[in-house]
Structure 1
Amino acid sequence: MRNPTRLLRGFCIAAAFGAILAGSVPARAANPLEMNFWLSGPRYDSDVPPCQAALGAVALQFADKESTFWNSSLQITGYADVRELGFRPWASDSIPRRFCTARAMLSDGRPRRVDYSIIEDGGFAGYGAGIEFCVVGLDRNWAYQPACKAARP
């Protein structure tokens, strides 16, 4: 008499292997019917706001991140030397981004460099411009380390 546990285990392994093979079917291009339902792909206009337009959002998101995740009352109180580092520095068919940098004065009295990018259609659910930023010395989760280098072009 065969062990039913071994049979069940063998069946599960075979089913998992079959599912992997079934999922490796190459993708097909959209057919004309699918193209009629707005599946033609993204169309970017390179309509990205200037660097100064994102400063308020950077300050708001920084204060929210500090208070929510790090239990800190740090806030950005002002900016100076705002300038653009690059616009679409990569291939022309990539998502348009404007890379900027500024000197920010924080509520602790220390000036720090802020590197940020404004991304076309990068906001919530692809609506509006999205913003990614890094404050040098306060990248506590090391998302852009070293010294916010990954937030620059």
Structure 2
Amino acid sequence: MTQFRIANFAISALFLSAAFLIGPVSASETNDSRLPACTSGSVQSAVSGALARAEAYYAVHRTVTGIDDIREINGRDDGVSPLARRFCTGTATLTDGTQQTVHYKLVEHAGFVGVSWKVDACISSLDEWHIYGAHCSTTMPR
């Protein structure tokens, strides 16, 4: 039991020291290479995966087959958070052949245990319950 407490303390201390080493982000560092590009294959896979997980709730058995016309909207929303953000939009082609606008946000250190980045993705016309706010507002800069 003592070894467990020591290990738990060591892991906690490691995460706290990492948080202090990372430090806040200045406004000039928002579009650096800490986040992958909107057009990156790993980002497109993450967007498709996020929408596939939500498929049972609102996509009515449709999944994303591809994303085209991808562009970055803005690198940061309000300048308050120390985490880098990247806001993107594109045109998603679904398995039923329709094309829908998809908005997605990448957030630094928001992945599993804060180690990697995370993506939130939303297709406004399919988000009837406004899970991501009206017109996907939480996935777009303010």
Fold match by TM threshold 0.5: yes
> Helix, strand or coil for the counterpart of 2:126?
coil
Question: TM-score by structure 2 length?
Answer: 0.71
Residue 105 of structure 1 is matched in structure 2 by 93
- CA shift for structure 1 position 70: 5.0
Q: Which has the higher contact order (CA 8 A, sep 6+)?
A: 2
Report the equivalent of 2:49.
60
Q: In the aligned structure 1, how far is the partner of 2:81 from the partner of 2:120? A: 20
Q: Does 1:126 align with 2:104?
A: no
Task: Summarize the Cα distance change of 1:138–1:97 in structure 2 as closer, same or farther, 3 Å threshold.
Answer: same
Could you tell me the TM-score, scaled by structure 1's length? 0.66
Matched pairs, number: 116
Give the corresponding residue for 2:125.
Answer: 137
**1:131 maps to amino acid:** V
RMSD: 2.2
Query: Any unmatched runs of 5+ in structure 2?
Result: 1-12, 26-31
Q: Deviations over 1:70-119 (max 9, x none)?
A: 58321001111100011124226531100000010111221111110111
Structure number with larger C-alpha Rg: 1
Q: SS at the partner of 2:39?
A: helix
For structure 1, list consecutive stretches of 5 or more residues without a partner in the other structure.
1-36
> Which structure has the highest helix share of the two?
2
Q: How much has 1:142 moved relative to structure 2?
A: 1.2
Provide the secondary structure at the position in 2 that maps to 1:137: helix
User: Following the alignment from structure 1 to structure 2, what is the Cα–Cα distance between the partners of residues 125 and 89?
Assistant: 23
- One-letter amino acid of the counterpart of residue 112, structure 2: F
- Number of the residue aligned with 1:83: 71
